[in-house]
Structure 1
Amino acid sequence: MAISSIGIGSGLKVTDIISQMVAIEKKPLDGLQTKATAIQSQISTYSKIKSLTSTLADAAAKLTRDSGWSSMGITSSNTAVSMTVTGISSAASYDIGVSQLSRGQTSVSAAVAVDSKMSANGTLTIAASTGGTSVDIDYTTSDTLTTLAAKINDKASNVRASVMRDASGNERLMLTSKETGAKSAFSVTGMTFTTPTGQAAQDAKITINGVEQVSSTDNFENVLPGLKISVNAVTDVGKDARVTVASDKTTTKKNIQDFVDAYNALNDLLSTSTKSVRGTDGKVDATAQANGDGVLQADAATVSLQNTLRMLTMGTATNATGTIKRLADIGIQVQQGGVLKITDTAKLDKALDTPDAIKSMFAAKSSSDGTGGGIAVNFKKFTDQLLAYDGTLNSKTDSLQKRVTANQNDQDKVTARATALETRLTRQYTALDTQMASITALSTYMTQQVANWNKSTS
């Protein structure tokens, strides 16, 4: 006898029984899924730790390089002269006078009627005055100044041709050198019309503290070490521009503040992720836990990392020159919880007045045994080790990923056992239903037979 629905034959609530037993078998999943969520939170936190460690490494590196301490500020008493830093330079003042600016040559032809044809065939030769190559441009009586200008622009590399209209409404061919300076001068021959003088090429000329300098452009890039001078106007005689180059305290102070901020951001994350989320009453603070606090509580690797960072802030750069050897010497104190804070800006400003000494405190090289190095040097070395391919941060992340895989395998095993149990119970109860249905049918038949026999004997 076929059973259309499990439980009909036995009269039992088989579906409910199986569901409850399978649920009991799956009960370990609750704990495994909770652990999986916790591990994923740890992985996410370590990703943030790695990012903040990289930021700290960059901030420390800036304080170990010469470029991090060579920031210079420049002021000029006259807008005719400006200066920019291009490399390592020294503090100094310069009196700069500008006697002439650079310019290129301009030559202009005689005036002709608009769109008039050339009067004869010929060849225009443009030659560089300083020994450059010459260019020949052929023209015919079919050409106008406009078509001739186009031919020149196609062939000549040192000049630019254009057609301009003068006040009388006539046209003139204008040739302009593409570069400036005396070297850009050129000559024009072979034209059947005169070429009056336009503008002669010339170099820019300046004096720096009385010493003359010449440049084919309005920029002087190789005169003063690490500095580029730019001029845009001639200065009055006896009124040189006073240009002052001085250490840029603002930029240097910002580099130090960036280092402090980067350290504090990492220290804060480490503190919140390792702190206990249980209150004095022993109960878990659900809000703190939801915010990710305590996700790495009692994690030995994380606690060790935090302790090492805090120890570095209290280090002494014994190899540093001068009396500045600790962060406290420049007004930076370690606060409760390992937080760094610039508590004495006056002390920091005074230290910045001796840039070599404060630089040495941050950037002094370590001894052969690895000790005595500058504060930033030690931080850079430690953060590089953390961020290395086989460093602590990657190793910890790999370990957590392995835990995720193992946890998923355990979940899969529990699910497989529950599925197998469900299949087995379904098969067993189906067989029971079939037997019970047969017994019920037999009982019904016997009952009918007894009833019929009773009737016949009556």
Structure 2
Amino acid sequence: MTTTTATTATPTPSIATTLGTGSGIDITALVNSLVTNAFTNKNAMLTQKNDALTAQISQISTIKSNISDFSAALTSLTGSGSLSTQPTSSNTGILNITRLPGADLSGLSATVEVRQLAQGQVTSSQLFSGGSATTIGTGTLTLSFGTATVTDGAMTDFTQGPAASIDITIGSGNSSLKGIADAINAKKAGVTASILSDNNGARLVLKSATGASQAFTLSGTGDLSALNVGVGASASVNQVAQDARVAMDGVEAKYPTNSISGLIPGARLDLVAAQVGTKVAIGAATPTAAISQAVTNFVDTYNQVLKSVQDATDPITGPLRTDPAAKDLLRQLKSLSLAELVPGATDDVPHKLADIGIKTNRDGTLSVDSTRLSKVLSTYPDDVEAIFAEGAGISKALSSLVATAIGSSTAGKETGLTSSNKTYTKQLDKLAEQQDKIVSDTANMRERMTQQFAAMDAKVAAYKSTQSFLTQQIAAWNSSS
């Protein structure tokens, strides 16, 4: 048997692995060194530019976020009404009063007497000993709204209002007392139904919304008539539908609900209890403590925003030291304390931040003169309130400053920091293209030099082979001599 020995073909070495075999020089390392040195300065320059542009874009984003958040927080605060004159009630056990958005309640003074609370009609059916599962019957229940006269729990007269009557169909699937209550509630017709149960059975209880015009009747066909509400019906009227009666400064008015927004302009009254003869004093109070706290918070936040802009525009280390939009924002921030915040205000009343005790320090930051602020608040409460009014005063001034600083992009034309950001982004994109080109050029140069040194290495190998042959020949000649 002949044994065949397998042989493994020796792979052809690549240029990279054979470079230097002829010359004895580490050509791969030499080529890498030459290529690296050729592009070191360019790469360093592009990296430096990349870092600078990235810092500029990041700083613009931070500044835009800071000033936007500052403005939004101030707008939210002034819009909440907490810095505006608040209405007061001398007896919250009878009524509460709340300021409505945008209202000017300065100088508010009145007396209010709650003579009657608004309430809805409440009725209860006869007792059904079988409880809520008692089958009443099928057919149609008709609900009508209007005004009613009630004497000793019985409806003696009813006048239907302009609204059309509402029919509620009762089938075999909901003919029980509970099923009928559910059907009435599902109709959402202005009356809510519930079941009142005790050891003796259950009753159907119906209740309407408040107001004299919300009295109602209920009439049923067939066996459903056992649930009738109205003149001559067996159901009891446990609570009469009536309007609230309120007298302001002795003049009475009626309202269908206990939450009244039309009696005092800019305020809502919530009636709690009726007490004939008791007059509740309504007044107004300036939120001095809230405004003082708001001034402190404003100054603290302003200083934080100012520092971020100052750092960004520092003439030596600031990444935005040459950016016109950032430098203009710094200028606007520094002039904010002297801005006219109340149009038409005379010089003898406070109308600027500097007028209420907000001082500008040498470094541009602000500080609060608490003594002066307290004095101005007690002497000119309405004028200070105007500075912190919703959609006006300092809130409006800061919003305008932010809009100008951030800028916009309209019809392809950018302004403010938006323009700066676009410029830096474009430059960064071009830089990326240059970096991509360097990568390509580096690869091409490495390939070209590798080929050149490969050719050189082959020639050196040939020369060395000739040298070796000649050396052997000379040695042979010398030996034969």
Please indicate the TM-score interval, normalised by the length of the shorter structure: 0.7 to 0.9
Match of 1:89 among 92, 95, 104: 104
Q: Aligned residue for 1:27?
A: 40
Q: Distance in 2 between matches of 1:140 and 1:311?
A: 76
Q: Is the 8 A contact 1:313 1:375 kept in 2?
A: no
After superposition, where does 1:58-137 map in structure 2 within 5 Å? 58=72, 70-87=84-101, 88-91=103-106, 92-114=108-130, 115-118=133-136, 124-129=141-146, 130-131=160-161, 132-136=163-167
After superposition, where does 1:440-455 map in structure 2 within 5 Å? 440-449=464-473
Distance 1:10 1:98, change over 3 A: same
Q: Aligned residue for 2:231?
A: none
Distance 1:251 1:141, change over 3 A: closer
The structural deviation recorded for 1:81 is 1.0
Q: What do residues 389-430 of structure 1 show as CA deviations (whole Å, max 9, x unaligned)?
A: 122211221222233233333433443433332222211110
Distance 1:65 1:6, change over 3 A: same
After superposition, where does 1:368-379 map in structure 2 within 5 Å? none
Q: Aligned residue for 2:23?
A: 10
- Secondary structure of the residue aligned to 2:25 is coil
Q: What do residues 27-76 of structure 1 show as CA deviations (whole Å, max 9, x unaligned)?
A: 11123212311221121111122223334555777899997974425344
- Secondary structure of the residue aligned to 1:103 is coil
Counterpart amino acid of residue 186 in structure 1: F
Q: Distance in 2 between matches of 1:47 and 1:380?
A: 18
Match of 2:433 among 379, 402, 409: 409
Distance 1:146 1:399, change over 3 A: closer
The structural deviation recorded for 1:17 is 1.5
| Larger mean Cα displacement after TM superposition, 395-404 or 424-433 | 395-404
Q: Distance in 2 between matches of 1:78 and 1:63?
A: 26
Match of 1:334 among 360, 376, 388: 360
The structural deviation recorded for 1:229 is 0.3
After superposition, where does 1:343-358 map in structure 2 within 5 Å? 343-351=369-377, 353-358=379-384
Q: Distance in 1 between matches of 2:340 and 2:171?
A: 84
Q: Aligned residue for 1:366?
A: none
The structural deviation recorded for 1:334 is 0.7
Number of corresponding residues: 429
Q: Is the 8 A contact 1:205 1:214 kept in 2?
A: yes
| Larger mean Cα displacement after TM superposition, 59-68 or 194-203 | 59-68
The structural deviation recorded for 1:224 is 0.9
Q: Distance in 2 between matches of 1:388 and 1:302?
A: 11
Q: Aligned residue for 2:192?
A: 160
Q: What do residues 146-205 of structure 1 show as CA deviations (whole Å, max 9, x unaligned)?
A: 344344445571323333224x5222222222x112111112345247223322212222
The structural deviation recorded for 1:304 is 4.3
Q: Distance in 2 between matches of 1:147 and 1:410?
A: 79
Q: Is the 8 A contact 2:83 2:388 kept in 1?
A: no
Distance 1:352 1:414, change over 3 A: farther
The structural deviation recorded for 1:225 is 0.6
The structural deviation recorded for 1:335 is 0.2
- Secondary structure of the residue aligned to 1:99 is strand
Distance 1:124 1:35, change over 3 A: closer
| Larger mean Cα displacement after TM superposition, 302-311 or 206-215 | 302-311
Q: Aligned residue for 1:289?
A: none
- RMSD over aligned CA atoms reads 3.7
Counterpart amino acid of residue 120 in structure 2: G
Match of 2:203 among 172, 180, 183: 172
Q: Aligned residue for 1:47?
A: 61
Note if 1:209 corresponds to 2:249: yes
Q: Distance in 2 between matches of 1:160 and 1:414?
A: 79
Distance 1:20 1:243, change over 3 A: same
Match of 1:188 among 218, 230, 233: 218
Q: Distance in 2 between matches of 1:402 and 1:192?
A: 82
Note if 1:219 corresponds to 2:243: no
Q: TM-score, normalised by structure 2?
A: 0.76
Q: Distance in 2 between matches of 1:123 and 1:315?
A: 71
- Secondary structure of the residue aligned to 1:337 is coil
Distance 1:219 1:316, change over 3 A: closer
- Secondary structure of the residue aligned to 2:123 is strand
Q: What do residues 110-147 of structure 1 show as CA deviations (whole Å, max 9, x unaligned)?
A: 223214444x8876543223423334557799944334
After superposition, where does 1:132-151 map in structure 2 within 5 Å? 132-136=163-167, 143-151=175-183
- Secondary structure of the residue aligned to 1:197 is strand
Q: Is the 8 A contact 2:325 2:417 kept in 1?
A: no
Q: Distance in 2 between matches of 1:105 and 1:223?
A: 24
Q: Distance in 2 between matches of 1:137 and 1:357?
A: 59
Note if 1:383 corresponds to 2:402: yes
Counterpart amino acid of residue 441 in structure 1: S
Q: Aligned residue for 1:282?
A: none
After superposition, where does 1:420-439 map in structure 2 within 5 Å? 420-439=444-463
Match of 1:230 among 248, 252, 270: 270
Kindly, what percent of the aligned residue pairs are identical?
28
Structure 2 gap ranges (5+): 1-11, 147-159, 228-233, 409-413
Structure 1 gap ranges (5+): 278-292, 364-372
Q: Is the 8 A contact 1:59 1:262 kept in 2?
A: no
Match of 1:273 among 312, 335, 344: 312
Q: Aligned residue for 2:345?
A: 320
Q: Distance in 2 between matches of 1:163 and 1:60?
A: 51
Q: Distance in 1 between matches of 2:177 and 2:386?
A: 68
Q: TM-score, normalised by structure 1?
A: 0.79
Q: What do residues 324-383 of structure 1 show as CA deviations (whole Å, max 9, x unaligned)?
A: 3543322111102111111244345425642454467789xxxxxxxxx97776655443
The structural deviation recorded for 1:257 is 4.4
- Secondary structure of the residue aligned to 2:207 is strand
| Larger mean Cα displacement after TM superposition, 346-355 or 211-220 | 346-355
Note if 1:263 corresponds to 2:302: yes
Distance 1:66 1:35, change over 3 A: same
Distance 1:112 1:395, change over 3 A: closer
Distance 1:392 1:125, change over 3 A: closer
Q: Is the 8 A contact 1:181 1:216 kept in 2?
A: yes
